[in-house]
Structure 1
Amino acid sequence: MSSRRVKRAFKYRFYPTPEQAAELSRTFGCVRLVYNKALAARSEAWRQRGERVTYNASSAMLTAWKRTEELAFLNEVSSVPLQQALRHLQAAFTNFFAKRARYPRFKCKKKTRDSAVYTRSAFCMRGGELYLAKMAGSLRVVWSRPLPEGAEPSTVTVSRDAAGRWFVSLLCTDIPEAAPPTDRAVALDAGVASLVTLSTGEKVANPKHERRDRNRLARAQRELSRKQKGSNNRAKARRAVARVHARISDRRKDFLHKLSTRLVRENQVVVIEDLSVRNMVKNRSLARAISDASWRMLRNMLEYKAAWRGRELVVVDRFFPSTRLCSACGALRERLPVDVREWGCGCGAVHDRDVNAAINIKAAGLAASACGDGVRPRRESSRTGRSSVKQELQRVTAGISGF
């Protein structure tokens, strides 16, 4: 067992009663209102007086708002989610001043996800049932998987997605089980035709979830466009579109979770390529296919699952020429068009484009790991101006013509 404690969120679906749904909807609206009023107050204070409003000052504002006749309805919901909204705003400003995020934006009722966070003082679990503050009765939660043995949730987040589904997420401290050590290593080459190609030669087919439901999505969107704005029928049609999107998203996440878990469980070292997905989706011909592949989501899953299971994740620099490099002799080809799926080297080797790239990524990742680069790619080293990946490969391919 691993001795490392991590924070894990366990998400479950639940079905509120009409009274509970109404109470939660009021809570969502109050959370959104408090966040927007606090953001407006802090922005105005900075523009007019050049001062920063702290969390304590925002909390005092909230107390004053509750005492006014106009905002007295804020007392009808639990105070904990309102305080948590102020804490989230404080974290947003902290990230902004640290240049980790953009300036906080106002929450829109139509675009922002409905959610409310309850801390330990505003919920309790008795007899396997969850109770929230100012809520009549327990929530009808579908416990699809058990919580860790002896786990005590620190926060509970209640949310509602665009499709009208209700979820509750319990944040717990857990000690994940470490996978048994192995000497296997694998590299991944991301693609569109094949989602990933492994250095072992295996190709994982791209399920293309969005493409499979594209006709259903288009039909639902056409129905939505015909409805009058502001009508109940338009609201129903909007939820129908959201249900199609939710179906696509759920299937994609399920597939990527199973793939990433298998890769981390079977291999001690996993090597991937650092891809700039944000720039790649600017290609209007491939943007839809790249977005459907969700390479970034797969990378995020590999990162935290490798940390949980005691595995090593190595990220190779995006400028490493894995596709054009011969994995047999190390010769570097000048150019290789995208439509060329197989190519031959002067040494006589014939390569599958994706398998060859995966083999080169694996070699580069193991070289970077041996040189102590860590998991983050570096554009240049402190003295030579070249990454250790390329230095190591240059030593291996020294004297080979064409490299």
Structure 2
Amino acid sequence: MGRFTTFRFCLDPNVEQEVVLRRHAGAARFGYNQCLRLVKQALDGKRGGTVSKVPWSGFDLINEFNAWKRSAAAGRVLVAAADGTTTVQATGLAWRAEVCQQVFEEAAVDLGRGLAAYTASRNGDRRGRRIGFPRFKSKKRAQLSFRIRSKTSAAGKAGIRIGGHGPRTVTLPGIGTIAVREDTRRLRRMLAKGRAKVLSATVSRRAGRWAVSLTCEAADLHDTARHQPDSGTTWVGVDRGLAAFVVAGRADGTEAARVADWPRPSRTGMARQRRLARAVTRKPPGSRNRAKATARLGRHHGRIAAIRSRFLHKVSNKLVKTHDKLAIETLAITGMLTNRRLAAAVADAAWGELARQITYKQQWRGGHLTSVDRWYPSTKTCAPCRTVNPSMPLEQRTFTCGACGYQADRDLNAAVNLAIWAEQHHPQIRDLHAGGPVTKARRGEGSGPRTRAGETSPNDAGTAPTSPRVRSGRPRRALSHDSTEL
């Protein structure tokens, strides 16, 4: 097993199954909120000196929730005896047996990740925007979703099964067999041949549809689908833009690929989006008509996201399948979104998602990918003579060198310069998943092994804590990218 991948199928549940799915999603939200409530109570107790330890990792939160759900704080009844005396009997969470227990555990794991991100952001170990303290999930606004791990029984039967009661079915523990709309043939073949193993299933409801995402640990791609080592090919620079979505060029000045027409889904559907948004605001809050109008607006956003995702996968597959050495520029997309003239177009292009897809797909196929510094003037540099022009406005689509008179397409010249940069620097091949060279990580101090039946160890929960790297001060924010690079 050499990679992790996800298979997503659209579910087709009946009325009874949809009730069960909603019950599990509500249980996940309840478990998350209760774990967060326990954390806040522990923080208040620590300030008062009554509590010495605050549950912070996912493993500790699971143990705290398991102890709470059986206590009198979760549920209790008064029992009257024959002699007239009454006693309080702890029943715990009465409805906990109606849902799969892994839903509560995975909700605690999610909260543990949020707390870890909050701590890393405060200590300066996390880049990007400042991460705030986790908040409670609203019953009305929270997304309906939950996650279940795949466990193997003593008889060797997996908890999550695909195609057990038909070619288009998925069986989930505690829920049963649900029909899916897509064909599961590819995943069933991989499971039958031992080339894949289902780790977890995430069920979510978006745009009025239920979907299941199966996270799998799969074997490497076949040798015929992977790039051959030491093929002798040259680097190909990939320039992302708005006029031409993607332009790829080699160091010798030849154009390798060009994607000029892109769907622009957000701009194309903006008229309909405004009309649906106005329909929502005209309905009284809390009415059924407002709920129906909100659902229509949500389905529109889901369609826009589906169009964009399909196009990005198509472009990334085209680049990765045909080129084994790619050089892509790191863009400060967050800074570009502050430009009110270009923010809508930049967000519609989803350059960050395209770079993410190229990164993991290139690793799957055994190719090489290097990131060029965002301050490298690829657009303003002449490819033949390496002269840097003082300025390059957006309306100028043809690059003209003032020193040698070289003329070329603006985007192609930038792609060629990216390829030249990769050829000159010969970057060290890096582990794309780790984001750097492979290093031996030291195991952190966990919360201890499993001690009682029904508890989950740190390895099972996937939240074994590691020792964070403490660094004084906060990292400096990256400045906004120069708009001339578009």
Structure 2-normalised TM-score?
A: 0.72
Judged with a 3 Å threshold, the aligned counterparts in structure 2 of structure 1 residues 124 and 355 are, in CA distance, closer, same or farther, namely closer
1:107 equivalenced with 2:137 (yes/no): yes
Q: Which of 142, 161, 169 pairs up with 2:181?
A: 142
Identical residues among aligned pairs (%): 33
Between structures 1 and 2, the one with greater helix share: 1
What one-letter code is carried by the residue in structure 1 that aligns with 2:405?
G
2:214 paired residue number: 170
Q: Measure how far apart 1:276 and its partner are.
A: 0.8
Decide whether aligned partners of structure 1 residues 127 and 176 sit closer, same or farther in structure 2, where only a CA change above 3 A counts: farther
CA distance in 2, matches of 1:12, 1:349: 51
| Separation in structure 2 between the aligned mates of residue 262 and residue 313 of structure 1, nearest angstrom | 15
Structure 1 counterpart of 2:388, from 325, 332, 339 = 332
- Tell me which stretches of 4 or more aligned residues in structure 1 moved more than 4 Å: 65-71, 373-377
Q: Which runs of 5+ in 1 are unaligned?
A: 378-403
After the TM superposition, which residues 130-279 of structure 1 pair with which residues of structure 2 at under 5 Å, given as runs?
Answer: 130-135=170-175, 137-145=176-184, 146-147=186-187, 148=190, 149-150=193-194, 151-161=196-206, 163-177=207-221, 178-181=225-228, 182=231, 183-199=233-249, 200-201=254-255, 202-205=257-260, 206-279=262-335
Q: Does 1:297 align with 2:353?
A: yes
Cα deviations by residue, 1:163-200 (Å, 9 ceiling, x for unpaired): 11100111221113152324253211111111112214
Structure 2 equivalent of residue 76 of structure 1:
98
CA contact (8 A) 1:34 1:62 kept: no
Aligned partners of 1:320, 1:171: CA distance in 2, in Å? 38
CA contact (8 A) 2:70 2:93 kept: no
SS in 1 for 2:7: strand
Does structure 2 conserve the Cα–Cα contact (< 8 Å) formed by 1:66 and 1:73?
Answer: no
Q: How many angstroms does 1:127 deviate by?
A: 4.1
> Paired residue for 1:395?
none
Which secondary structure state, in structure 2, belongs to the residue aligned with residue 91 of structure 1? helix
RMSD across aligned positions (CA)? 2.2
Instruction: Single out whichever of 183-192 and 117-126 deviates more from structure 2.
Output: 117-126
What CA distance in whole angstroms lies between the structure 2 residues aligned with 1:240 and 1:176? 41
Q: Distance in 2 between matches of 1:68 and 1:138?
A: 34
1:363 aligns with 2:408: no
Query: CA separation in 1, counterparts of 2:298 and 2:46?
Result: 43
The alpha carbon displacement at 1:279 in A equals: 0.9
Q: Cα distance 1:176–1:142, how it changes in 2: closer, same or farther (>3 A)? A: farther
Once the two structures are TM-superposed, the CA of residue 73 in structure 1 deviates from its matched residue by 2.8
- Cα distance in 1 for partners of 2:326, 2:4 equals 23
Q: What residue is the counterpart of 1:380 in the other structure?
A: none
Separation of aligned partners in 1, 2:20 and 2:303: 27
Tell me if structure 1 keeps the 8 A contact 2:165–2:177. no
Instruction: Give the drift of 1:327.
Output: 0.3
Q: Which residue of 1 aligns with 2:150?
A: 120
The TM-score normalised by the length of structure 1 is 0.86
Gapped regions of structure 2 (runs ≥ 5): 48-52, 78-91, 152-157, 437-486
How many Å separate the matches in 1 of 2:365 and 2:332? Answer: 27
Q: Deviations over 1:258-284 (max 9, x none)?
A: 110111111111111000111100101
CA deviations 1:131-184 (Å, max 9, x no partner) are: 33343x5101124342024333121111111x1110011122111315232425
- Secondary structure class of the residue paired with 2:391: coil
Q: Kindly tell me: are residues 186 and 109 of structure 1, through their superposed partners in 2, closer, same or farther at Cα, counting changes over 3 Å? A: farther
What's the counterpart of residue 5 of structure 2?
A: 8
Residue matched to 2:70 = 63
- The CA distance in 2 between the partners of 1:237 and 1:215, in whole Å, is 16
Give, in whole Å, the separation in 2 of the partners of 1:351 and 1:60: 69
